[in-house]
Amino acid sequence: MITLGVEEEYLLVDAVTGRPAPQGDKVRSAAGLKPFVAAQELHPELSQAQVEAVTPVCGTLDEVGGHLLRLRHAVTAAAEALGCRVLASGTPPSHTRSVPVTDSPRYRAMQRQAPQLVAEQLVNGMHIHAAVPDRLTGVQVLDRIRPWLPVLTAMSANSPLWEGEDTGFATWRTLIYDRWPVSGVPPYFADDPDYDRRVQRLLDAGVIADTGQLYWQARLSEHYPTLEIRCFDVQLGTDEAVLFAGMVRALVQRAIWDGAEDLPRPQPDPELLEGAMWQAARHGLSGDLIDPEGVRRRAGDVVCRLMRHVGPALEDAGDAREVRALVHRLLQLGTGADRQRQALAHGGIAEVTDMITGMSSSS
């Protein structure tokens, strides 16, 4: 069984104004978090208005959902005691303001490197780690799942607003991240020495300062024996997070099986794959997507193709019933971006904020 770990980034906003509140350090150190949250489960982020929650290693989707719900409840309680609310949205829906960078050498260096990018990096993602047996397998799995990253991005879109306005994109966070030097869909790699050599060349050239600046939508983890899928906006509720954890596990398992059968690894044209990612960011599930073969199809049809691809792996893990039900609900209710836009049309930014904060500690 492939084990999983999930990281979620949350935004802290003032309970009255709805603007980002630089209270991350205080929330993380709140006495009320103990004994419900261990110190290693909450991390600082680039902005002082953000907090990252990290689950333990999980063997089942029930464990993933339980830990995320526990962490969200604890962070929400700590934030409310400080006059803040917690937003699980890829971007802040209301007007932003200048927020101090977390005081660490790495974050200060990033601010010197790209001050305006850092000022606008108030975005929240979800990263899912799936265990792989070794780095070579990890690279081969990475190659096999690359064509599916656009549809995962579309399904998880939850950042349509910026500075109080609709950007026209379902996931504006994806566009913000794409401005960094090493970002977007990762390239094809021959094997793990090829991966390591090319990353080292980026480091030697000074393009990136450390491997944490590999902002690819998927990459090998440098700290754990895992593949890290990073294309997701943070989700409104924990059920959506559980859906994508199950989907990632199934994609990784299917890729391992395909490798064991020595099936060829796909090598789609990079410009078409980048275009597919842009299309996913633009429309989410509300328009057409580009499928892994490079064919333009309705979003629902591409999701169905993904479900057929991972179906045997979902069955093998015992996740099929839950994931299929959650996918059906997603197609019925829409993405987080769809729901944010519905709230915006009904009651403006205030209703969007109320909707997001109401769901941030729910299932």
Dump pLDDT digits (tens) for 222-277: 888 999 999 999 999 999 999 999 999 999 999 999 999 999 999 999 999 999 99
Cis bond upstream, residue 35 (ω within 30):
yes
**CA 337, CA 330: separation in Å to the nearest integer?**
11
**pLDDT over 70 at 361, yes or no:** no
**Token pair belonging to 208:** 């990136």
357 lies in some domain: no
> Is residue 326 within 8 Å of residue 335, measured between CB atoms?
no
Q: SS3 for 183?
A: strand
Q: What is the pLDDT of residues 45-102, one digit of tens each?
A: 999 999 999 999 999 999 999 999 999 999 999 999 999 999 999 999 987 667 899 9
> Is residue 198 within 8 Å of residue 139, measured between CB atoms?
no
Q: SS3 for 116?
A: helix
360 lies in some domain: no
**CA 138, CA 154: separation in Å to the nearest integer?**
24
Domain ranges, residue 35: 4-351
- pTM, 2 dp: 0.96
**pLDDT over 60 at 329, yes or no:** yes
Q: How far is CA 129 from the centre of its chain?
A: 11
The total number of structural domains in the chain stands at: 1
Q: What is the pLDDT of residues 170-218, one digit of tens each?
A: 999 999 999 999 999 999 999 999 999 999 999 999 999 999 999 999 9
198 lies in some domain: yes
358 lies in some domain: no
For 39, list phi and psi in degrees, rounded to 5: -55, -40
299 lies in some domain: yes
Report pLDDT for 241: 98
Share of the chain above pLDDT 90, in %: 87
**CA 185, CA 277: separation in Å to the nearest integer?**
8
Report pLDDT for 362: 61
Query: Containing H/E element for 28?
Result: helix 24-28
282 lies in some domain: yes
DSSP 8-state class, residue 148? G
The CATH number covering residue 248 comes to 3.30.590.20
362 lies in some domain: no
**CA 273, CA 187: separation in Å to the nearest integer?**
10
- Comparing C-alpha atoms, which of 91, 163, 89 is closest to residue 360? 89
For tokens 């350090």, the residue is 25
103 lies in some domain: yes
